[in-house]
Amino acid sequence: MRSIPMGSKSVVDMIEASSGVHFSGFHMDGLESRNTEMGQPTTSSTEKIYKQPFVIGVAGGAASGKTTVCDMIIQQLHDQRVVLVNQDSFYHNLTEEELTRVHEYNFDHPDAFDTEQLLCDMEKLRHGQAVDIPNYDFKSYKNDVFPARRVNPSDVIILEGILVFHDPRVRDLMNMKIFVDTDADVRLARRIRRDTVEKGRDIGAVLDQVVEHGLGHLPFTEKQVITPTGSVYTGVDFCKRLCGVSVIRSGESMENALRACCKGIKIGKILIHREGDNGQQLIYEKLPQDISKRHVLLLDPILGTGNSAVQAISLLISKGVPESNIIFLNLISAPQGVHVVCKRFPRIKIVTSEIEIGLNEDFRVIPGMGEFGDRYFGSGYDCSMEILSFRKGILAADESTGTIGKRLASISVENVESNRQALRELLFTSPNALSYLSGVILFEETLYQKTSDGKPFVEVLQENNVVPGIKVDKGTVELAGTNGETTTQGFDSLGARCQQYYKAGARFAKWRAVLKICPTEPSELAIQQNAQGLARYAIICQENGLVPVVEPEVLTDGPHDIKKCAYVTEIVLAAVYKALNDQHVLLEGTLLKPNMVTPGSDSPKVAAEVIAGYTVTALRRTVPPAVPGIVFLSGGQSEEEATQNLNAMNKLPVLKPWTLSFSFGRALQQSTLKTWAGKKENVEKAQEAFLARCKANSEATLGKYIGGGAGGLASESLYVKGYKY
């Protein structure tokens, strides 16, 4: 820090020296009233002396040490009444649209602040009036979550913030201005600690900061920019040939941050796998063909021993990338790893936010963050939370070839690969629709399909911050010894398939078990067989890096009432969570996809509020709070019914320890399918219908849906008796 001459003068002396005419009748020595004329008092003993407060502005970059400087000033002014006003308190509330893109919102821009409110409150304080300063919540991005802070008039007002010097009207209020200047690398380390611990921001936002900082180390040339109005500005032009390379799997956590900064950037991947106990590492790579001509940002959040980093850098150099063209970005580093990399590659640049104490006996960074891939994708937890993003849900686009054939037949479209691809492309490229989705479940064919422009569907989803998922079961078969009940198949080579799907970009999986309600069903055999199958699937997924979505569906077929459905649903869920516990599945790294509790298809319908009550009660009795979220299937309900029921659940005034969202297939696609009808000229209208359903269900996750999502099509029943998936 600089520009603060604390050594030679006290803050009191500095304030007194700089007060001048602005400091009318105010003296720091005991706050005495001074007369401008030869010792004569300026007022009578009965007149109230008005003292205008002394205003100090403290500005500087994020995490530069402004708060520390303010604390130092307050300590030196221990005899005075001092109040601190933070510019951070005056952030705007984010709109619903801004919340869906909060990762793109720039909190370091002047427009992020309510400057008019800041000016109003400062003027009141300067004129002796108390004010209520907002208490901004950085988790909800609102200023009405916590009570406002009452601030009374004081002798000295310190106004602190990154941009308090930007507006000239705010600057004119200040009698003294202090700018705190700190090295950018130091500020980055401080900011990451502050944002994660104090402000509760997720690790994704922190990774954004690391990537942005790393881009500042790229070579550039100065360039003049002339605006359309003729204004001339001096700027910089970064190198055009740039790519990222992530070290699977933890490095993939930084990919979205890089894409946010550099739209359309090419990103390669390196997989480094330690085989057995002999220390040998097998390396698989997929890199841009012209990588030797590019500057490379190597992405890996943790630099521990440095062995993986050396392997990755050596591979890049063997592909022709000059050592000086590699910038290694990570979140935290051990000194041993930094030494190993720098000794081997002295011309490489390393950008890190923190160098930790060292390594423990397991060669983990101390204190570190454990296995970052497991932390970020969680053996599931953080990936589960990513899928459960605020006001978002999942699109189930995992229909098998046979199932989607039935959907296409309903609009007289042939079931061929090109038509299946066209429908999926329509959905995945709908303008703005993906902003309401956090995940999409794909069928194996779709996982490897591309748009008509040649871009893989997986990349389309990832670039829109949507997590790709994959259906891994192989459908149901009849369970021997039962009355037509079923079990789910697909365990053959499931682990190997999960590894392949992970390499292809999938980050979560789905497995569906089916149970029916009849006078003697579901049988205990069917319940236990399907519960154990779901548990086996879940642990295999977690062992291979995929978040398991557990789907025990109780079918709606039959004349049973809602109480019978609630009873069966509770029995099934209890068995499922007993089996998951027996298999040592990490519940925090799973999601549940259950049916809603509804009357049977041949019974009278009931109100959404009744369905909500029975469903939430069944879940509260059986689903542990460790499960981060529940994403409902629609189960043959109409689009409107499914949305209204989800909305009613989220409005229910009872404790719900999990996020309640949606994982709809037909209830998100039916209006779209009918509107499209397989015709290119209908694509735009079909995408509008899809956007309407996505937005409607997004509102339902907040309990704010008011109905009327897509007209008559949304109210058509989707129930098919004996429907085979």
Reply yes or no on whether the pLDDT at 39 is more than 50: no
Least confident of 132-141, 251-260, 498-507: 251-260
Reply yes or no on whether the pLDDT at 675 is more than 60: yes
Q: Residue 490 corresponds to which tokens in the numbers above?
A: 């697909």
Give Cα 353 distance to the centre of its chain.
Answer: 20
Residue 177 or residue 38, greater confidence: 177
Spell out the CATH class of 243-374. Answer: alpha beta
Specify whether 725 is catalytic. Answer: yes
Residue 31 or residue 443, greater confidence: 443
Specify whether 641 is catalytic. Answer: no
Tell me if 235 sits within 8 A of 226, measured CB to CB: no
DSSP string, 643-706: HHHHHHHHH--S---SEEEEEESHHHHHHHHHHHTT-GGGHHHHHHHHHHHHHHHHHHTTT---
CB atoms within 10 A of CB 581: 12
Q: Which residues of 298-331 are buried (b: 16+ CB within 10 A; e: fewer)?
A: bbbbbbbebbbbbebbebbbebebeeebbbbbbb
Identified catalytic residue from 64, 430, 438, 663: 663
Closest C-alpha among 368, 285, 371, 375 to residue 334: 368
* Fold classified for 11-179: Rossmann fold (3.40.50)
**pLDDT for 17:** 53
**pLDDT for 392:** 93
Q: Which amino acid is at 274?
A: R
Specify whether 639 is catalytic. Answer: no
Closest C-alpha among 682, 711, 683, 685 to residue 696: 711
Q: What is the pLDDT of residues 508-520, one digit of tens each?
A: 999 999 999 999 9
Angstrom distance (rounded) from CA 105 to CA 651: 29
Reply yes or no on whether the pLDDT at 279 is more than 80: no
Specify whether 277 is catalytic. Answer: no
Q: What is the pLDDT of residues 434-458, one digit of tens each?
A: 999 999 999 999 999 999 999 999 9
Q: Which amino acid is at 344?
A: R
State the pLDDT confidence band at 231, using cuts at 50, 70 and 90.
Answer: confident
**pLDDT for 61:** 75
DSSP string, 564-589: HHHHHHHHHHHHHHHHHHHTT--GGG
Identified catalytic residue from 105, 567, 723, 725: 725
Reply yes or no on whether the pLDDT at 610 is more than 90: yes
Residues whose CB is less than 8 angstroms from the CB of residue 233 and which lie 6 or more positions away in sequence, other chains included: 224, 225, 226, 227
Identified catalytic residue from 252, 374, 398, 425: 398
* Fold classified for 379-714: TIM Barrel (3.20.20)
Reply yes or no on whether the pLDDT at 277 is more than 50: no
Specify whether 398 is catalytic. Answer: yes
Rounded percentage of the chain residues whose pLDDT exceeds 70? 80
Angstrom distance (rounded) from CA 417 to CA 139: 44
Q: What is the mean pLDDT of residues 595-607?
A: 95
**pLDDT for 260:** 74
Backbone angles phi, psi at 378, to 5 degrees: 75, 50
Backbone angles phi, psi at 154, to 5 degrees: -140, 170
Q: What is the mean pLDDT of residues 321-338?
A: 88
Least confident of 122-131, 252-261, 301-310, 328-337: 252-261
Q: What is the pLDDT of residues 201-225, one digit of tens each?
A: 555 556 666 777 777 777 777 788 8
Q: What is the mean pLDDT of residues 473-483?
A: 95
Reply yes or no on whether the pLDDT at 140 is more than 50: yes
**pLDDT for 713:** 64
450: DSSP letter: B
User: 3 — alpha (psi -120 to 50), left (phi > 0) or beta?
Assistant: left
State the pLDDT confidence band at 44, using cuts at 50, 70 and 90.
Answer: very low
State the pLDDT confidence band at 7, using cuts at 50, 70 and 90.
Answer: very low
Least confident of 9-18, 89-98, 119-128, 135-144: 9-18
Angstrom distance (rounded) from CA 367 to CA 196: 15
Specify whether 510 is catalytic. Answer: yes
Pairing of strands 393-397, 659-664: parallel
Residues whose CB is less than 8 angstroms from the CB of residue 637 and which lie 6 or more positions away in sequence, other chains included: 596, 598, 645, 667, 717, 718, 719
Specify whether 551 is catalytic. Answer: yes
Angstrom distance (rounded) from CA 596 to CA 617: 11
11-179 and 243-374: identical CATH topology: yes
| Average pLDDT of the chain, as a whole number | 83
Domain boundaries, the chain: 11-179, 243-374, 379-714
Angstrom distance (rounded) from CA 12 to CA 17: 9
Reply yes or no on whether the pLDDT at 43 is more than 50: no
Closest C-alpha among 201, 302, 222 to residue 254: 302
Residue 291 or residue 544, greater confidence: 291
State the pLDDT confidence band at 22, using cuts at 50, 70 and 90.
Answer: very low
Residues whose CB is less than 8 angstroms from the CB of residue 181 and which lie 6 or more positions away in sequence, other chains included: 1, 2, 3, 60, 61, 64
User: 472 — alpha (psi -120 to 50), left (phi > 0) or beta?
Assistant: alpha
Identified catalytic residue from 66, 392, 471, 510: 510
**pLDDT for 5:** 43
**pLDDT for 414:** 96
Identified catalytic residue from 551, 557, 641, 699: 551
State the pLDDT confidence band at 98, using cuts at 50, 70 and 90.
Answer: confident
Identified catalytic residue from 593, 639, 641, 699: 593
DSSP string, 59-119: EESTTSSHHHHHHHHHHHTTTS-EEEEEGGGGBPPPPHHHHHTGGG--TTSGGGB-HHHHH
Identified catalytic residue from 356, 374, 553, 557: 553
